[in-house]
Each structure stands twice: as structure tokens, then as C-alpha cells.
Amino acid sequence: MKRINWKKFGLVTFSLPLVILIIMIASMAEYVAPFDPYFLDVMVMLEGPSEKHWMGTDELGRDVFSRIIFGAQVSLQVGVCAVLVGLTGGVFVGVLAAYYGGYVDQILMRFMDIVFCFPAILLAVILMANFGTSIFNAMLAIGIIFIPGFARLTRAITQTVQRQAFLEAAVCLGLPGHKIIFREILPNVLGPLLVEATVAFSYAVLLESALSFLGLGSQPPEPSWGNMINIGRGFIDQAPWISLAPGLALFFTVFIFNLFGDGLRDILDPKLNE
Amino acid sequence: MKPKTKWSMRQVAIMFSAAILAFSGSTFASEGKYGGHLIAAFSADPGGFDPAMGPSGMSHVVIEQVYGTLLNLDHDAVPYAGLAESWEQSEDGLKWTFKLRPDLKFHNGEALTAEDVVFTFNRIMPEDSGYAYRSQIETIESVVAEDDLTVVFNLKTVTGPFEIYMAFPGSSIVPKDLVESGHDLNAEPVGSGPFKFVSYTPRDSIKFVKNEAYYESGKPYFDEMTYRIVADPTALANGMKSGEINFSNEVPPKDWNSITSQSNMVDAALEGSRYYWMLPNHERGVLGDPLVRQAIAHALNREAIVKAAFFGQATPFTGGVIPEWNWGYADLDVFEPAGNITKAKELMSKAGVASGTPISLMMVSSWPPMMSMAPIIQANLAAIGFDAKIETMEVPRYWDEVWGTSNFDLTVMYWLSPLADPDDFVTNTYATTSAVNVQKGGSKEMDDLMMAAKSAVTKAERKELYRQQQELSLTDMDVIPVVNGWVLTAHTNKLKNFKPMRTGFLKTLKDAWFD
Amino acid sequence: MWKIIAGRLLSFVPTIIIASMILFLAVNVVPGSAARAVLGIQATPQAIKRFEHKHGLDRPLYIQYADWAGKAIKGDFGTSFQNSVAVGPEVAKRIPVTILLASLAFGIAILIAVPLGALAGMRHQKMSDGTITTLATLFGSTPNFWLATLLIYLFALKFGWFPTGGYVPFQDSVLGSLKSLCLPAISLGLVSSGLLIRIMRAAVIETMESNHIDTAISKGVGPRRLFFSHVLRNSIIPFLTVGAVEFGFLVGSVVIIEDVFRIPGIGSLVLVGIINRDYPVLLAASMAITLIVLLVNFLADLSAQLIDPRQVKNVRN
């Protein structure tokens, strides 16, 4: 009888409810947030946390708590889209490189290696200046940065799978190229890719905030954690909650999703964690 | 033809007091104390130090300390004798004669004569010189040195603001021999100003040292001066609070109260000419109708904008754009500071604008005051029936994609007028040919009025013409004046006799000393 | 051995060249023309044309690249659009600052990672292991710019132990210099320590599970000393390879941290270049950062290959 190691589900069990909570709050921001994130009242600006405003008001009298919740929506949207862009591009390149091998492989992977060498933030900053500062472009830029990572992973796993026996069987059966890719290679790649995607997601959320923090992502008055932290910096001595509260939300979100990623790794391939 | 000699009030006063002192037999001692090191903070890097190159405002703050000009402006923007000890305008206004002081010297010891003045202006007058302020000197037909100490300017048309132009940093006198020998003034300026240039460390600081041979004997008082470049406004504020920086005229509005409430700081804020105006694109739908533009102008709650965007440190415009402190001011009380929605709505219905007309407000996201005033303006627009949306863009893209191509419905811009002459306040925004007129407005009537006002001979004539121009501007409502930001200057209380300038420049530093 | 070094060098050079091409392309396609960024509201069409001609921006891109690359090799990186000052010397002055900051940060990361990682490894499968691993994830998830803001608020503004920003040059005052870099280095180092804790932990676990220890004990070597020497052997390669990648992240992150703390390194210069569309500055600063990262990776990779090629292959997968 196979003994299931229940311990490896521990982390996921702990983090999954929180993950779902964050996703739900973000998607239903309009219902959860007590105030309109754009509604301002100059009379109550820079007020500390109170019964009415749980996390105080910012420099234009807007409710910080509501803006944090809508900020979650922005962050999660960018995270998901960036990962999708990265996955699509990365898997495409990786499978292509592994399947065709030879020159195709060399050229593609060389190019990926060089792009991979650029520090992510540097690339993100330059790309955003290139594309123009908006949420959509942030998704694109961050997604592009992820492509080499996903490509490498996909290629490595595809190569491992290629060496395995049942693939030879499929070739013997005379299945055409693309069918081999879809039926045999992809399913085995999915597991590690899922783990990688979760980690990438957290990093995307972090990168988006970093970009907005630098003024190169979503622009004010859009509620985004990054630009809230940045603007709050100017008021740090008068009203520290403006930047500290969104930062806490960011920290918490990234942490929970990283824990979830760790948990997934525990389940799918415990050896990877050690 | 009897020439009108101009004696500035200052010269009369000096002669008078000198006479009294001569009678009383006492020596004329200077009041100030010598010594000390002024550390001023600015937010931008200069673009270079050659007066002919410009156009960065930060360059001018350096140029005015290192170089001299024929005339200087005092704190109220009134011209007085600079390198020229006297000057006169011909009766028909087309000829200006300046008499230089004797024994003027550049920092390298060379003498400053009429030859250098002629050289300076011949350098910037040609069309391909690259001088950004050519509009000031394009009326000059020729500059001639009658002798070593006399320079004559022959003008094509009467130029009202001519004295102001001669006090402008761009008109600084440069050393002919040095420049002709190939010296690069842009990297190392050599002039005749109160301070000598020592060094420039990019993005860090500019250092000056006292000019011991300055022609105004007894001045300046400081031994040295450092301009620190601090790009981050919060850092600037912190530097002032901690005392590392003892002077700044770029205090961020949000930190104004916390800095000036410190007991060792002096509040020297002044209404200058940092005015903000809204540009309605005349080629976009209903904005082509003056009634609609007037409606928007009446709908704005300028009081709220002053509070939210400027933390109280600004003056709402209630009429024309020429501010109250300037002689060209016309007391036209047209706008209510908190706005008049009823009147605005009347105008809207008179213009026949349907309720819910969409309109977009494009603001620069890199400038905090713009971001703060955007929601207020949006609310004001909504109150009179527009469906207003805020769009934002950061600075470099904005210039290209919004400003340069006039790709906006409504946008807001600000202008620091360095000249303090009414012509400078109005021509840039209203003239049909101005590069700043991206709202595509203007009319021949307006152009003619401004040209007449600029070339009238007496100040009284000009003042009346500017009144008419402002009245016209309020019926045409080419642009919508918003507020006039103050020049937020604060300094240590050890600094005495510093008079902040309306123009936002710092020439008056030479008259100040440390206690 | 020299063959390995030569081989690696051969592939290093084309990498730099291609990287410079990519950067050049990326920088020059940036919309928002440099002319308008410098001239601002006074940008008349003639002024813009004059500006672009003066800086050679009206030539085709490949000619501009060839010109730039040719001059760059000789050390001439052009002059800033903003203040007409030569870019090369400015970048050269800032590089040591960034390297000092990055090294301090990395040092802090190692200081945190080694003891914690060792502890976690030795208490493998116990409570403290899980706690420390979670702590590692916590550290790695911290947004460095938020941590920086928090540190400034607490230790600079409230307690006044450190300056709120700015940099005291090393030559002027060693203590002052370290004080001004302390908070920035912590912001960077704490986050990097997350991954390094795991590496250390893994190395310790592997050492404990391997057979070498039994063999060594039978030889009569003291258990503690051999334990640590084995841990060292097992951890050096992973630390080198993963550490180099982490160092790369760190150097990239200085772009943000130098901005927050106003440290005059090349990170903040990148931002200055972008905000002002100052292409020569942006290009030179980005190139410098990329070069540092590539160099560190190159050296780490080389050292790893020379020390123990087999382990390198293991860690790669």
C-alpha cells in the first residue's frame, strides 16, 4: 500500500485559504472597499487611522484602506497577465529549442541567456520608458522579462522527457511532431511550470510595485501600492501610514503567494525544496 | 532733441546721503558683517554657464552671480544701475545709450569695456545663434561702441521692456578676448559678477568664491557660496530642517509649514510670477466657444486648489494674469475664489452644451501640484455638466505626445516668468505665433494690442494698453488663469538683509550678510 | 586550466557586445524625444532640430551605434544632454560607490544566511527548521523599497541613529561612509538573505546525510572540525553559482535603493537618465550595471568550474 506523506500538504493547506482570500478581496474590490478610492475631501487630508477611516486618509483626503484594496486589484491583474505573457512566450521558445535542437537551440538559448543576464529591474525600467507608463504596458514589460526563465525551465524539462522511453514509443507509433509535443511533452512540464509560475507571480507583483514606486508604472491618481508608497514617502513624518500600510499589504501578499509556491513545490517534487 | 537722462532713485539717494555725510565729516561705513558660507539648495542641474546658451533656469541662477549685466533688477523688479552707471533713452524711444563705469574688470583681470558689450550682443543677435531668448533682442538693429565706456543700441521699433531685457541673465556681458581665444564659457564661466565660479560637480554642487574686486565696493559679504543640487524634494526639506542647507527658494509646498515653524528659520515667501493656467484646446469641440471657456473659468474652485495643491502658498487669479504686485496689474474682479457654479451653468446653457458632454483633462503626473489639483478640477467640470475624465502622463512623454502635438482637450501648465515685465506674462500665452500657444487660440486684435503695449513709449501708456489686453483676454478666455504660486523662500535667521526677488532670481544675495 | 579560462573569455566578449546592442536599441527607441525633455516648454521646432543635429540623433540607428561603440571602447561615452558634462568620468566616479554598497549588502546577507541556514540544516525536520525556512521566505518576500522607507522612518527620523540619506565618501570619513550605507545595505541584504539561507541549509543537510562523515570519523578526525570543513566544501559551489545570480538581483535593485537613499552610484544615474531622457547617461549607466553583473557571473562561474566541475552541473539542474 502506498504511504501518502501528508506532511507535504501542510504548507499548501495553510496558505491556500489566504491566497483565495486575497484573490476574492481583489476581485470584489468594489463591494469590499468602504469608500471610492478616488473620492477626495481636502478637509480631512492626512488624518490618522480612525473609526471612519481604518487606515487613515492620504494627502488628498482619500481613504487609504479602500485604495489599498483597489491596489490589490491592480497588483493581481498585472501579476496574472505578466505570468501569462511570460508563460506563453517562454514555453513556446523552450519547447521549440528542445524539440528541434541543433542551431535553433543554440541561437535561441544564447539569446535567452543574454536577456536573462540583465538585472530584471534595469530591463523593466528601460522597457517601461520605451512602451509608455501604463498598467497594460507593465504587464507586457514584466511578462517579457519572465520569458527567458520559463524558456529555460521548459527546455530543460522537455529534454528530460525526450530522453524517456515512452516518447520513443510515441515516435514509433508514427505520431506527427506537434501531437507529440502536445500529448507527451506538455503534461510533464506542467507541474514544475506551475510552481515556477507561482513564484513568478509574486515577483511580478513586486516588480509592478517597484515600477510604480519609481513613477514608471501606473500613474497617480490610480491606486497602486507602489505609487502610494512613493507619494507617502514625502509625508513620512506627518503621516507615516500612507506609505507603511500599502507596503504591509504588498509584503503580506507576496509572502503568502511565495509560501503557496513553496507548498506546491513540496507536493509536486519535495526534493526540489532541499 | 533733448535726451531724457535717467537717474535711478538709488543714485539720487546715494548722492544725497554722501553729501550729508561729507558735511558731517564721518566716514561711510558699511552696515554688514563679512564672512560666512551660504549653502543654498536647488532641485535641478544647470545646463551650462554660457549666457548665450541657456535655456535652463538653473543656469541663470548661476550666471547672474558670476556675470554682470548693464542693469540690475531690485527685489521689486525695478531696474537700477549695474555695469552701466547711467543710461538714457532717446525721445523717440529708438536709441538707448549706456555709460559704463570706469575701471570695470572681469574675474581674470581683463578690463571690461564697450567692446565687450558690443561683442556680447553681436554674439546672440544672429538668427542662427541658438540663443533661446532672441525675442528680447530681435528689435535691436545694431550695437555700437561710441568710445571705451559708451554703448549705443539702435532699435528697429520702440521696445517697452528694454531695460528689463538688459537686466536679464541672458544679456550678461562676456569677455571678448577670452571667448575669441577659444575659452568655453559653458564649462567655466568668467564674468564680472559678485561671485567667482570655482567648480561644478554634476548632480552635486556648484561652488563660488567672493569677487574681491567687485565694482560695488563693500559687496558681496559672504566669503563663499555653494549651490547644492538636491533632486528629491523630501531630501531638500530634510536638509533645511537639519541645518545642512541654510537657504532655498524651492521649498516644497507640503513642507513649508514644518520648515518655517522652526525658530531658526525665516519665512521669506513672496508672490512672484509662477503662474498656472489651464489650456483649452480651441480645436476640440465645444472648447472652441468662448462662452464655454468662460464657463469653465468661472467653475474652478481656486480656493480649494490653493489649499490642496499648494498648501495655502498661492494666490488665486481673480482677473487677468498680471499679478497685483506688478505695475501692469488691472484690478478686474471677475472670478470668485471659490468659483461660481451658478454663473458657470448659465454660460453653459447659453452656449447650448448638452449635459454629459465628455471631456478629458490631461495632467502631468510628475508634478505633484498638478496631481493634487486634477480631482478638484474634475469635480468642478462635472458640476457644470461635463463628463470629465482625468488622464495622466509623465514629463518627457507629455512634451512629445501631448504638448507638441496639441493632443489634449484640457491641460494645465505653469510658467516662471523671469522678467517681471507684463509683456512676458502675456505674450507667450496669448500671441498667435508663440510656441507656447498650443491651445491654438489668439486673435489679430489680441496680437495688435500686445504689440502696441510692448512698443508704447511711456509706462502710463503701456499700463492702459495692458488693461485693455486683460479685459479682452477675459471675454475671449483664450486660456483660463488658475493660480499664481508663491516663490517659497526660506533661510536661516542668521542671514540678514536678504530681499527675495519677485522674479525668483537671487541677485539680491550680494546685498545680504551673515550675523 | 588556462583552456577553460580562455574558452570562457571567448564567449564573454560577444555577450557584452550583444548586450550593448540590445541596450542601445532599447534606449533609443524610448519615446518622448530627448530634445523636448531638455528644452521643455521652450521647445520650438527649430530648437528641437538644432538639438537633434548637434547630438547626431538624426542619423540612422546603426550609424549612431557604430559611432557610440567606437568611442566607448576608447572610454569616451559622450556628454550628458542635460548638463554638457562628460559622462565617462561621472560613471567612473560612481561605480566604486555602487560596488561598495552591493558588497556591504551581500556581506550582510551572508552574515544572516550562514548561521541561520546552518541552524536550520542541523535541526532538519524539526520545528526550528520549519520556522527558519519560513523566515527565509519572509525575508525573500520583503519589498526592498518598503523596507527602506520603514528603516528610514524608524532609525533615521524617529531615533536619529542614521542619516535619512546621502552618501559620505569613503575618503572623507570611513565611519560616516559606513553609517550612510548601513540602512541601504540592510534593505538590500535582508531580502537577498532569503535565498542564501536555503542554500546554506541545503549544504548542511547534504553534508549530514553523506557518507564522508562516517569515513572521516573512522579515520580519527575530530567530528566538529570535519563537519564544518565538509559543510564548507559542499556549500561553496552552490554559494558561488546561486550567490552570483543573487548578486545580480542585488545590483539591479540598487537602481531603486540608491534612489530612495540618494546614494550617488550608477543605479541612481540610470533613473536620472530615464527621467530626463538623457540617452548618453542612460546608456553608460545601464552598460556599467550590466557589465558588473556579467563580470561577477563570469568570475563566479569560472571559479566554480575550476574548483569542482561536477558539482556545477548538479547545481545547474
Residue B198: its pLDDT value, please? Answer: 95
| Residues of C whose CB is below 8 A from A228 | none
Beta bridge partners of residue A24, listed in sequence order: none
Residue B204 confidence (pLDDT) above 90: no
The Cα diameter of chain B in Å comes to 80
- In sequence order, what are the residues at sequence separation of 6 or more whose Cβ sits closer than 8 angstroms to the Cβ of residue B332? B318, B319, B320, B467, B470, B471, B474
Best mutation target among A36, A39, A59, A228 (most B Cβ atoms within 10 Å) is: A59
Question: Rounded mean pLDDT of B96-123?
Answer: 93
Pick the range with the lowest mean pLDDT from A99-103, B69-73, B329-333, B337-341. A99-103
Average of pLDDT values for A150-167?
A: 77
Query: With contacts defined as CB-CB under 8 Å, which chain A residues touch C290?
Result: 117-119, 122
Q: Is the pLDDT of residue B3 over 50?
A: no
Report chain B's mean pLDDT, rounded to a whole number. 87
A208, A79 in Cβ contact below 8 A?
yes
Share of chain C residues as helix, strand and coil, in percent rounded to the nearest 5: 80, 0, 20
What is the interface size between A and B, counted as CB pairs within 8 Å? Answer: 44
CB B414 within 8 A of CB B310: no
Nearest CB among A120, A126, A244 relative to C150 is that of A244
Q: Residue C164 is nearest to which of B46, B187, B238, comparing CB atoms?
A: B238
- Per-residue pLDDT tens over the stretch A247-260: 999 999 999 999 99
- Those residues whose C-beta lies under 8 Å from the C-beta of residue B484, and which sit 6 or more positions away, are B271, B272, B273, B274, B275, B276, B314, B315, B316, B317, B323
- ipTM field: 0.86
Interchain pair B392, A238: CB under 8 A: no
**In which order are the strands placed within the sheet that holds B4-6?**
B4-6, B84-89, B95-100, B150-155, B140-147
pLDDT tens for A185-241 read: 666 667 788 888 999 999 999 999 999 999 888 887 889 999 999 989 888 888 899
CA dihedral C104, C106, C108, C112 (to 10 degrees): -170
User: What's this model's pTM, rounded to 2 decimal places?
Assistant: 0.84
Calculate how close chain C gets to B244, using CA atoms only, in Å. 12
Q: Hey, which residues does B152 pair with through a beta bridge?
A: B97, B144
- Rounded to whole angstroms, the Cα distance separating B424 from B142 reads 23
SS3 of B184, please? coil
Q: How far is B388 from chain A (nearest CA, A)?
A: 13
Pairing state between β B357-364 and B410-416: parallel
Residue of C nearest to A254 (CA): C141
Question: Which member of A60, A215, A235 has the closest CB to residue B372?
Answer: A60
Residue whose entry in the numeric block shows the C-alpha cell 559708451: B150
Using the Cβ of B341 and the Cβ atoms of chain A, whether some distance falls under 8 Å is answered with: no
Percent of chain C residues past pLDDT 90, beyond the cut: 23
Nearest CA among C213, C227, C304, C268 for reference residue C94: C268
Res. A178 pLDDT band, cuts 50 70 90: low
- Residue B401 DSSP code: I
Out of A113, A213, A262, whose CB is closest to C256? A213
Does the N-terminal peptide bond of residue A246 adopt cis geometry, omega within 30 degrees of 0? no
pLDDT higher for B65 or B274?
B65
**Could you give the 3-state DSSP secondary structure of residue B499?**
coil
Separation in Å, CA C38 to CA A126, B127, C25, C42? 19, 21, 21, 9
Query: pLDDT grade, residue C309 (50/70/90)?
Result: low
Residue B51 has pLDDT above 70, yes or no: yes
Query: Which residues in chain C are closer than 8 Å to B129, comparing Cβ atoms?
Result: none
- Judge contact between A35 and A64, C-beta under 8 A: no
Higher pLDDT, B493 or C1: B493
Go through the domains of chain A in sequence order and give each one's CATH number: 84-273 (1.10.3720.10)
Question: Which amino acid is residue B253, in one-letter code?
Answer: P
Report residue B25's pLDDT band, with 50, 70 and 90 as the boundaries: very low
- The reported pLDDT for the residue numbered C312 is 57
Under an 8 A CB cutoff, do A60 and B393 touch?
no
Query: Where residue A183 falls among pLDDT bands split at 50, 70, 90?
Result: low
Cell of B428: 507667450
CA distances from C196 to C109, C135, C189 (A): 7, 12, 10
Task: Label residue C254 by pLDDT band (50, 70, 90).
Answer: very high
Which band of pLDDT confidence, cut at 50, 70 and 90, is reported for residue B11? low
pLDDT at position B93 is: 86
